[in-house]
Chain A
Amino acid sequence: MRTYLYMLLLCSTMVAQNKDCNYTLSGKIIDLHDGSVLPGAVLTIAGLETTVESDINGIYTFSNLCEGVYSIQISHPNCTTQGVKVKVSSNTKRNFKLEHHLEELNTITLQASIYRSKTKTNFEQKITEKQLDRFSNASLGDVLNTLSGVSSLNTGNAVVKPIINGVHSSRIVVMNNGVRMEDQEWGAEHAPSIDVNTIGNITLIKGAGALKYSGDAVGGIIVTEASKIPVKDTIYGKTHVTAATNGRGGSITSTLTKSYVNGWYGSVQGSLKRFGDYEAPDYVLSNTGNFERSLSARIGINRFDYGVEAYYSFFKNEIGILRASHIGGASDQVRAINSGIPLIIRDFTYDINAPKQDVTHHLFKVRGFKNFKNLGKVTLQYDLQQNERLEFDVRRSSNDDDRPSLDLVLNSHTIRLDLDTDNTDLFNLKTGIMAQYQKNIADPATGVRRLIPDYERFNLGIYGVADYSISDHFLVEVGGRFDYFNIDAQKFYKSSFWEDRNYDILFPEIVVEVFNNQLLTNPKLDYSNLSATLGTRYTFNDKYKLFMNYSLASRAPNPSELFSEGLHHSASRIELGDLRFNSEVAHKVSITLQKQGTTFGFSINPYINFINDFMIIEPTEIRQTIRGNFQVWEYRQTNATLAGIDIDASVTFTDYLNFYHQFSMVKGYDNTRDISLIDMPPVNTTNGLVYQNKELKNLRVELQSEYTFRQNEFPNNNFEAFIPETNTFELVDVSTPPDAYHLLHLHSNADFKLGENSMLNVGISVTNIFNTNYRNYLNRLRYYADDLGRNLSINLKITY
């Protein structure tokens, strides 16, 4: 849209110089595959040898042309050059479509290219490949944490779950390479099963606006895409090696890509990350090492108007959970909290023992697309995912240490058909249908009652999103989606719980078989969910944009919310789900004002999210067991309101120096009980000073300050526990958030040319420079240990 504006401006300022030779020929250079604009194309008029280049918006202009027919050669770096003939008899506009093989073309894996947005009226934040380089040995959650409005719910430092605008887990959808990740994301200590090294770029949509992907993203959608592969005869690769002092480990990752000018391509990638126990400033965080392996391969053909790709990825992560966090009842909890330091501190080791998680994720995808001239692009995709989660608890007998306490395998099959009629500038329609079948199997060989039962789930979804440009400045987007879910579970209940909950009166018909002290039931649950989006984008001038979006998201309860029933060791609490839940429905209104500029730019994004039947877990009572007393946490539904604001700003002082600022604040209230919501991210602000010199080996030095305020709004969930050794009752403070903290980090990197086609990028980073002791409110293990101390890491990346 902005391009038209440019064109108008250009045309209107054209000054006639010669009566016969004052015509202009202008237009834009467009990627035939996805309609994105191509900057840097060189157009030469044969005979005249006049040469112009398309600008950042793909616009080119020849002026002072005479009437006649011109032969124009259009070339673009890496591309096959194209010749065209154009008749000029007045000021002429001609857009040229180039088959943009050259640089980065990857229309198969990407529904939207790097230049295109996932939604048109949601403000989107992006992380590019270059920014990702710094996180080669980190997790997806760590990467996302760098964006305003995103924080993370951590379990130690290796399990990092993104929180978007105050919500997490099932309320966030992760689209990995066009595939919705089905990796048991319902669990608060289940991190996304994605290796950051497989990601080319990340887009974050803070809202449910991208209905194409899902209708239940109450918090937002994270879209990761693989790097683009050029359509030319080439072979290239990169190897990334990192080493870090904290955890005394590192990572190595390599990618090799081969492509041909006929469109065929293939790419393989592998990563290995190994860390031992991490360290807080004053002690070793025993049993916090991790060992991550990943492998991925893709092969495909990418042609003018069709393409096919097959993709497979394997991800395995073994993560140690802080040994001191595995505790018995409330009296242990009192000891652990009052101690101030972890109750178990051992010497550094690379060994990972119980408690630990071992997660394996397989993802296979095959996808094909075809462009039909009068219809648009049709894409068909099938994906198969298998997620196996093993959790090892400290068992009573050490003979059982190699036997998991939880063994869940989730198999998902999804098929989707999408139509994208993105062929006019005025009106676009995206529509599609998807079907998914899931089966979860809980292995009974664990000797521990199933946390999540065996179940089958079927999902059918239909969506349509249209956008219409009312004027060059004003665009409206509207969309709707319908999802049907059916869950068929085989759940064992403890007889005592079944009766305590009155389920024996409410659901007598679902009992299949009665055993000694438990019974088998067959809950069959249906949910029909509607979701919708309505938004506008208004462009004031080249610099200012206003995005306004309303989204309606509906989320069916997840297996944990429905079926949980038992002791959760890492939290030292008993967690109870509820079969009677209905879907939660969120209404989110989000406004963003964005200013882009070379010296000063900003975006301000206030939002409010009203969530009806919001499912939350909170303490209800203290339960006596023979193991001691435990706090019981029950899921319940309430009406909640989350409101907040995210701010980004940057100022460029000189060619070499710029400053950036980020600020995020979110408040969450339980309207029914009139209390604050638990686990709301505290207010935080990140500020940085960046020195960058292109002449000096592309040197970049960044000093980053991260300040997290204390969370002052929290529900009081404290309780009293009996302590036998003193024969007294003591307060167990599980609510009070830790103090505010300030961390300083330094990141630097530079490029060194190794040869014609190879480059070495060297990066050195120090995080938590002053080795500050701090605890993070959003770290579930904050009761037991400080967070990470200083870390010095070196990062070498060779591209060849």
Chain B
Amino acid sequence: MKKFKISILTAIAITGLVFTGCSNDDDAPAPVNEEEVITTLTVTLTPTTGGGSVVTLQSRDLDGDGPDAPVITNGTLAANTTYTGTVVFLNETETPAENITTEVEEEDDEHQLFFTTGGGLNVTTDNFNLDGNGNILGTTFNVTTGAASSGSYTVTLRHEPTKPNTGLADAGGETDIEATFQVTVQ
């Protein structure tokens, strides 16, 4: 009986302690800076010959998976021209913006970029840079335009693809980025 009373008292005492011990911090939590997010993809195309203008294609989605759609900057390329291309990925939710291209290039065997055209766009993408194993990485490349045309140009970054592969269809892996631009060749 005595033991019973003691244990009840103990239980009450413990509860009291725990309750008071837990409810004393009202500190506001720290915001989380999203580290996994890529907000911005920029493709810069510089003509190899002559004084043509540099073309920039950009997809920028500052709220990540939030309701705002990505802001797309489309571009116009000159016909029958070769461009050297580079891709830059940024996480602009952090200040200063984090350059994720570096990370992709460091783990080059785990990533690959794919460039696909649609709707009769007369553009070929080749001469990709390679990873440590001699397979395509694709953060730098050449774009060669043919006759005047227009259509979609999609840039896809796959994580952990099967390498080597013949294209998106058998690459597997997961899509980290998929941005579609409307491109005109004239």
Which residues of A are at the interface with B, using a C-beta cutoff of 8 A? 301, 306-308, 326-329, 331-332, 343-344, 366, 368, 370, 380-382, 384, 393-398, 405, 411, 413, 415, 437, 439, 442, 444, 446-450, 453-454, 456, 490, 492, 494-497, 500, 512-513, 515-518, 520, 566-567, 574, 623-628, 630, 722, 724-725, 727
Cross-interface CB contact of A368 among B11, B18, B100, B174, cutoff 8 Å = B11
| A382 to B17 Cα, complex, angstroms | 12
Does B38 count as interface, using CB distance less than 8 angstroms? Answer: yes
Q: A405-B36, A512-B28, A626-B61 are in contact. Are A517 and B175 (CB under 8 A)?
A: no
Question: Would you mind naming 29 contact pairs between A and B with Cβ atoms under 8 Å apart?
Answer: A306-B4, A326-B174, A327-B174, A328-B159, A328-B176, A328-B178, A329-B175, A331-B178, A332-B174, A344-B172, A368-B7, A380-B11, A382-B11, A396-B38, A413-B15, A448-B32, A456-B23, A497-B67, A500-B67, A512-B28, A517-B62, A623-B69, A626-B61, A626-B178, A630-B65, A722-B180, A724-B118, A724-B156, A727-B119
Cross-interface CB contact of A626 among B34, B35, B39, B67, cutoff 8 Å = B39
Q: A306-B1, A368-B8, A724-B178 are in contact. Are A449 and B119 (CB under 8 A)?
A: no
> Could you say which residues of chain A place their CB within 8 Å of the CB of B175?
327-329, 331-332, 627-628
- Closest residue of A by beta carbon distance from B4: A306
Shortest CB–CB separation between residue B159 and chain A, in angstroms?
A: 6
Shortest CB–CB separation between residue B132 and chain A, in angstroms?
A: 14
Whether A627 and B107, one on each chain, are in contact in the complex, defined by CB atoms closer than 8 angstroms, is: no
- Closest residue of B by beta carbon distance from A380: B8
Whether B63 and A415, one on each chain, are in contact in the complex, defined by CB atoms closer than 8 angstroms, is: no
> Could you say which residues of chain B place their CB within 8 Å of the CB of A513?
28
> Could you say which residues of chain B place their CB within 8 Å of the CB of A623?
65, 67, 69
| A307 to B168 Cα, complex, angstroms | 68
Does B152 count as interface, using CB distance less than 8 angstroms? Answer: yes
Q: A447-B32, A517-B93 are in contact. Are A497 and B7 (CB under 8 A)?
A: no
Q: A328-B178, A331-B178, A456-B23 are in contact. Are A725 and B32 (CB under 8 A)?
A: no
Shortest CB–CB separation between residue A178 and chain B, in angstroms?
A: 14
| A771 to B17 Cα, complex, angstroms | 56
Whether A301 and B3, one on each chain, are in contact in the complex, defined by CB atoms closer than 8 angstroms, is: yes
> Could you say which residues of chain A place their CB within 8 Å of the CB of B68?
496, 500
| A384 to B103 Cα, complex, angstroms | 44
- Closest residue of B by beta carbon distance from A306: B4
| A614 to B162 Cα, complex, angstroms | 44
> Could you say which residues of chain A place their CB within 8 Å of the CB of B179?
626
Residue of A492, A494, A513, A520 ringed by the most chain B CB atoms within 10 A = A494
> Could you say which residues of chain A place their CB within 8 Å of the CB of B63?
494-497, 517
Which residues of B are at the interface with A, using a C-beta cutoff of 8 A? 1, 3-4, 7-8, 10-12, 14-15, 18-19, 22-23, 28-36, 38-41, 59-70, 93, 95, 100, 103, 107, 110, 114, 116-119, 151-152, 154, 156, 159-160, 167-169, 172, 174-180
Shortest CB–CB separation between residue B150 and chain A, in angstroms?
A: 13
Count CB-based A-B contacts (< 8 Å). Answer: 178
> Could you say which residues of chain A place their CB within 8 Å of the CB of B34?
447-449
- Additional A-B contact list (20), CB under 8 Å, known A516-B95, A567-B65, A628-B177: A306-B1, A307-B4, A328-B178, A344-B172, A368-B8, A384-B18, A394-B159, A394-B160, A396-B103, A447-B32, A448-B36, A496-B67, A500-B67, A517-B62, A566-B65, A626-B40, A626-B61, A626-B179, A627-B175, A727-B119
- Closest residue of B by beta carbon distance from A324: B172
Whether B70 and A624, one on each chain, are in contact in the complex, defined by CB atoms closer than 8 angstroms, is: yes
| A442 to B29 Cα, complex, angstroms | 9
- Closest residue of B by beta carbon distance from A332: B175
Whether B36 and A396, one on each chain, are in contact in the complex, defined by CB atoms closer than 8 angstroms, is: yes
Q: A329-B175, A447-B33, A497-B66 are in contact. Are A308 and B93 (CB under 8 A)?
A: no
> Could you say which residues of chain A place their CB within 8 Å of the CB of B160?
394
> Could you say which residues of chain A place their CB within 8 Å of the CB of B23?
437, 439, 456
> Could you say which residues of chain B place their CB within 8 Å of the CB of A515?
31
Shortest CB–CB separation between residue B21 and chain A, in angstroms?
A: 10
| A722 to B119 Cα, complex, angstroms | 13
Shortest CB–CB separation between residue A448 and chain B, in angstroms?
A: 6
- Closest residue of A by beta carbon distance from B153: A724
| A478 to B56 Cα, complex, angstroms | 73
> Could you say which residues of chain B place their CB within 8 Å of the CB of A343?
172
The 10 residue pairs across chains A and B that have the minimum distance between CB atoms:
A727-B118, A328-B175, A447-B35, A724-B154, A628-B178, A496-B63, A500-B67, A626-B61, A725-B168, A496-B66
> Could you say which residues of chain A place their CB within 8 Å of the CB of B167?
725
- Closest residue of B by beta carbon distance from A333: B175
> Could you say which residues of chain A place their CB within 8 Å of the CB of B159?
328, 394, 396
> Could you say which residues of chain A place their CB within 8 Å of the CB of B31?
444, 492, 515, 518, 520
> Could you say which residues of chain B place their CB within 8 Å of the CB of A326?
174
| A566 to B66 Cα, complex, angstroms | 7
- Closest residue of A by beta carbon distance from B167: A725
> Could you say which residues of chain A place their CB within 8 Å of the CB of B95?
516
> Could you say which residues of chain A place their CB within 8 Å of the CB of B118?
724, 727
> Could you say which residues of chain A place their CB within 8 Å of the CB of B38?
396, 626-627
> Could you say which residues of chain B place their CB within 8 Å of the CB of A453?
29
Q: A517-B93, A567-B65, A625-B70 are in contact. Are A382 and B174 (CB under 8 A)?
A: no
> Could you say which residues of chain A place their CB within 8 Å of the CB of B28?
490, 512-513, 520
> Could you say which residues of chain B place their CB within 8 Å of the CB of A308?
3-4, 7
Cross-interface CB contact of B32 among A394, A444, A456, cutoff 8 Å = A444
| A328 to B174 Cα, complex, angstroms | 5
> Could you say which residues of chain B place their CB within 8 Å of the CB of A368?
4, 7-8, 11
Whether A444 and B67, one on each chain, are in contact in the complex, defined by CB atoms closer than 8 angstroms, is: no
- Closest residue of A by beta carbon distance from B22: A439
Shortest CB–CB separation between residue B12 and chain A, in angstroms?
A: 8
> Could you say which residues of chain A place their CB within 8 Å of the CB of B66?
494, 496-497, 500
Shortest CB–CB separation between residue A37 and chain B, in angstroms?
A: 27
- Closest residue of A by beta carbon distance from B25: A439
- Closest residue of A by beta carbon distance from B1: A306
Q: A448-B35, A449-B34, A625-B65 are in contact. Are A394 and B174 (CB under 8 A)?
A: yes
- Closest residue of B by beta carbon distance from A310: B7
| A384 to B19 Cα, complex, angstroms | 11
| A450 to B32 Cα, complex, angstroms | 8
Shortest CB–CB separation between residue A403 and chain B, in angstroms?
A: 9
Whether A444 and B65, one on each chain, are in contact in the complex, defined by CB atoms closer than 8 angstroms, is: no
- Closest residue of B by beta carbon distance from A722: B180
> Could you say which residues of chain A place their CB within 8 Å of the CB of B7?
308, 366, 368
> Could you say which residues of chain A place their CB within 8 Å of the CB of B19?
413, 437
> Could you say which residues of chain A place their CB within 8 Å of the CB of B103?
396-397
> Could you say which residues of chain B place their CB within 8 Å of the CB of A439?
22-23
> Could you say which residues of chain A place their CB within 8 Å of the CB of B18?
384, 413
Shortest CB–CB separation between residue A632 and chain B, in angstroms?
A: 8
Shortest CB–CB separation between residue A240 and chain B, in angstroms?
A: 32
| A487 to B35 Cα, complex, angstroms | 29
> Could you say which residues of chain A place their CB within 8 Å of the CB of B32?
444, 446-450, 492
> Could you say which residues of chain B place their CB within 8 Å of the CB of A328?
159, 174-176, 178
| A382 to B9 Cα, complex, angstroms | 11
> Could you say which residues of chain B place their CB within 8 Å of the CB of A437?
19, 22-23
